[in-house]
Amino acid sequence: TLADIGSPRRTKDIIQKHGFALKKSLGQNFLIDRNILNKIVGAAELDSGKGALEIGPGIGALTEQLAQTAGKVVAVEIDQRLIPILEEVLEPYDNVDVVHSDVLKVDLQGLFAEHFAGVEGVSVVANLPYYITTPIVMRFLEEKLPLDNIVIMIQKEVAERMAAKPGGKEYGSLSIAVQYYCEPEMVTIVPQTVFIPQPNVDSAVIRLRVRKEPPVQVKDESFFFEVIRSSFAQRRKTLYNNLASRFFNKETKPALEGILTGCGIEPSRRGETLSLEEYAKLSDALQEALG
Ligand code: SAM
């Protein structure tokens, strides 16, 4: 019988047999550690009734473990060269569909309808290509796909920003956007040695439990996110100055102080100290004042 795809030995054999040259530009760092693979799959809380959507299967190390745990696995891979390799190594599993596509461009609603009909819930599970972590995560959240959770290996600093609480230097618009849609939890920190080739950054596995309802109500979601982005536009500036330069002119500016204090927010505070609740209140008040 064959060793697991993710074992160091089998990974080297597969790469060698197919003469595969890993592409740094596609974030190709393959996992070769069973313990980390188990932690990722375990954190997704899958069972035979559930589906897993994997982004970037590589040569299939994580895909294989998902196939043994979930009822249905769909793996979206951009690199054409990996498709025949995946077909071959995943041949023993009849519950895996490999899709050759760019995850940032593929029709996700269509993909869900086509591949996950009848499953009880879907998790996104991936060792992500780090160069596009944020666009991928934001795409899944903004499209409001029916997801239970997102379990991803990403750069450690990015995971810390996603999970950050107000007040610290890691807290920013990414923290707020992620926490509006999800409850983040760090699963484990991952050393560079579990990949080939080794990346030059530390990694972490994070679980984002997707909320059924947002934790705060806002009148206009896109304006809410615009207010947040503007509040962090220049981190050294006060909230007042950042908002003034984005939403106000000389004539309208005198109203801003009253809007802020009306929400119970000191104008001299910085964007990084405001909670989700305060941003929600502020966004509704600003929108009403600006008309
Ligand atoms: N899952 C494998 C593992 O853990 O060993 C490989 C992970 S590797 C960090 C990232 C994978 O994402 C690569 O296979 C890469 O080709 C793929 N990838 C990069 N950009 C992509 C995109 N835009 N859409 C889909 N897959 C992508």
The tens digit of pLDDT for each residue in 116-173 reads: 999 999 999 999 999 999 999 999 999 989 999 999 999 999 999 999 999 989 999 9
Q: How far is the centre of ligand 1, averaged over its atoms, from the C-alpha of 120 (Å)?
A: 26
Contact 150, 123 (CB under 8 A): yes
Atom of ligand 1 lying closest to residue 58 CA: 14
Contact 43, 118 (CB under 8 A): no
Q: Is the CB of 285 under 6 A from ligand 1?
A: no
Q: How far is the centre of ligand 1, averaged over its atoms, from the C-alpha of 26 (Å)?
A: 7
* ipTM value > 0.90: yes
Q: Is the CB of 27 under 6 A from ligand 1?
A: yes
What is the DSSP secondary-structure string of 53-115? Answer: EEE--TTSHHHHHHHTTSSEEEEEE--TTHHHHHHHHTTT-TTEEEEES-TTTS-HHHHHHHH
What is the C-alpha end-to-end distance of the chain, expressed in Å?
68
1, pLDDT greater than 80: no
Predicted model pTM: 0.94
Pair of tokens at residue 36: 């980390």
